[in-house]
Amino acid sequence: MKGQLFNRRRFIADGSKAVAGITLLSSLTNNTWAYTRKPPRIRFSVISINHPHIYGMIESVIKGGGELVSVYAKEPELVVAFSKKYPQAKPARTYKEILEDHSIQLVLSSGIPADRAPLGIEVMQHGKDFLVDKPGITTLEQLAEVRRVQKETRRSYTIFIERLESSTIPKAGALIKAGAIGKVIQTIGLGPHRINPQSRPAWFFDKKYFGGVITDLASHQFDQFIYFTGSTEVEIIAAQVGNLNHPQYPAFEDFGDVMLKGDKGTGYIRVDWFSPDGLKSFGDGRQTILGTEGYIELRKTVDLSGRQGGDHLFLVNQKENLYIDCSKEPLLFSERFVNDILNRTETAIKQEEVFLAAELGLKAQAKATELKLKG
């Protein structure tokens, strides 16, 4: 693998290596710019490391100018594995020790999803910004309280979703802004995943902990619908979820899809846990953006026609049919995010976009009918 960036979307949880968070996958790009680390400008810590996505989050903040100071997790074995990768992070005796450290400006977390919002609320109330793995909020009640506290404290509550680490998405956004496909009419977002059940903890299979398949996996697709269409008012037209092939986990959902209508475009989202083992990636993530003058398709993780790696963009319009390798596009989130913490700005992602994407996922999950198939 070229470069040292851990990519959250390309992290494969394969047994003990996944728990330890030390498996390296093909990175988002082989752009040397993307791996240039800024000198430390902020101090940050980690609370709860139940999902190995935390490693990609840490690398992103370090690259933007963050100094990792300390870590807390109630599971000693996770701390041991974490400390092998980041020996500079001092293990804290309690999470309160981190919250009460006034030198810390930012807290990262990939705890059990249902616990993330309550922690983020405490983090903001202690005057710190919060960067959390998706799903960052698992109920509408949590969302209302997070919004209230965020408004009250003016701290940032950022959910680490695909747009922040993908080079295809901002490239597509730039092409759309330049008029390459005319006015956006619809987005179709597909988010299949490989389940790897042998490497998953018990909470993974109970939706009271992860919020449901739409709340969880479709976090990225709702955000990208907002980003590509520019919609600010969105209605969930229909949604369905089901456990179609995992009866041994009765509280699990392995399939979900959604139809939605915004004031500036329509959308369809499908997420599932059915990526086959023969695929060279954790899932064949795709996004199609239909415009009045053409369309763009993003193949984020794999191109089945044989091109290596991910970050593939296909553009078809009235004049041309193009393939664009986005792997050399610069990744801007890291530096912008640290700048936002220092300057109290929103250049990496707008707070209301974070909340709207979360709200749409939660509303779709709540509205979803149960899908059952015969045979």
pLDDT tens-digit map of 313-343: 999 999 999 999 999 899 999 999 999 999 9
At 57 the pLDDT is 97
β-strands 321-325, 312-317: how paired?
Answer: antiparallel
What is the Cα–Cα distance from 29 to 25, expressed in whole angstroms?
Answer: 11
Span 277-303, pLDDT tens digits: 999 999 999 999 999 999 999 999 998
Note whether residue 287 is domain-resident. Answer: yes
Beta strand extents in the chain (DSSP E only): 42-47, 66-72, 90-91, 106-109, 129-133, 157-160, 184-192, 234-242, 255-262, 265-272, 286-291, 294-299, 312-317, 321-325, 369-370
Q: Tell me: do 81 and 173 sit in the same domain.
A: no
Same domain, 140 and 188: no
Average pLDDT over residues 31-60: 84
With a cut of 50, say whether residue 353 has pLDDT above it. Answer: yes
For residue 245, is pLDDT > 80? yes
Q: Is residue 87 part of a domain?
A: yes
Q: Do 175 and 131 belong together in one domain?
A: no
Query: Residue 15: which pLDDT band, with cuts at 50, 70 and 90?
Result: very low
How far apart CA 146 and CA 142 sit, in angstroms, is: 6
pLDDT value for 249 = 97
Question: At residue 231, does pLDDT exceed 80?
Answer: yes
pLDDT for residue 211: 98
SS3 content of the chain, % helix, strand, coil (to 5): 35, 25, 40
12-21, 96-105, 229-238, 279-288: least confidently modelled range: 12-21
> How does strand 294-299 pair with strand 286-291?
antiparallel
The range of the structural domain enclosing residue 43 comes to 8-162+333-347
Q: What does the DSSP 8-state code read for residue 50?
A: -
Question: Nearest CA to 109 among 88, 84, 87, 128?
Answer: 128
Task: Indicate whether 353 belongs to any domain.
Answer: no
Amino acid identity, position 291: G
**CA–CA separation, 214 vs 76, rounded Å?**
31
Same domain, 302 and 153: no
Domains identified in the chain, total number: 2
Phi, then psi, of 47 in degrees rounded to 5? -125, 120
Residue 320, domain CATH: 3.30.360.10
Instruction: Indicate whether 308 and 337 sit together in one domain.
Output: no
Say whether both 90 and 39 belong to one domain. yes
> Are 122 and 14 contained in the same domain?
yes
Please, which pLDDT band fits residue 71 given cuts at 50, 70 and 90? very high
pLDDT band at 33 (very low <50, low <70, confident <90, very high): very low
Look at the block and give the residue holding tokens 């042998």. 198
Residues 229, 297 share a domain: yes
Residue 36: pLDDT band by 50, 70, 90 thresholds? low
Beta-sheet pairing, 286-291 with 90-91: unpaired
Same domain, 73 and 35: yes
Confidence of residue 74 (pLDDT cuts 50, 70, 90): very high
Tell me the per-residue pLDDT of 127-176, one tens digit each, with 9 for 90 and over: 999 999 999 999 999 999 999 999 999 999 999 999 999 999 999 999 99
Question: For residue 147, what is the domain's CATH number?
Answer: 3.40.50.720
Q: pTM for the full model?
A: 0.90
| Domain match, 274 and 242 both | yes
Lookup result for tokens 């989202």: 269
**Beta bridge pairs of residue 132:** 109, 159
Q: Position 181: which residue type?
A: I
Q: Does residue 356 form part of some domain?
A: no
Question: Do residue 169 and residue 313 come from a single domain?
Answer: yes
| Per-residue pLDDT at 306 | 83
pLDDT of residue 305: 87
Same domain, 222 and 307: yes
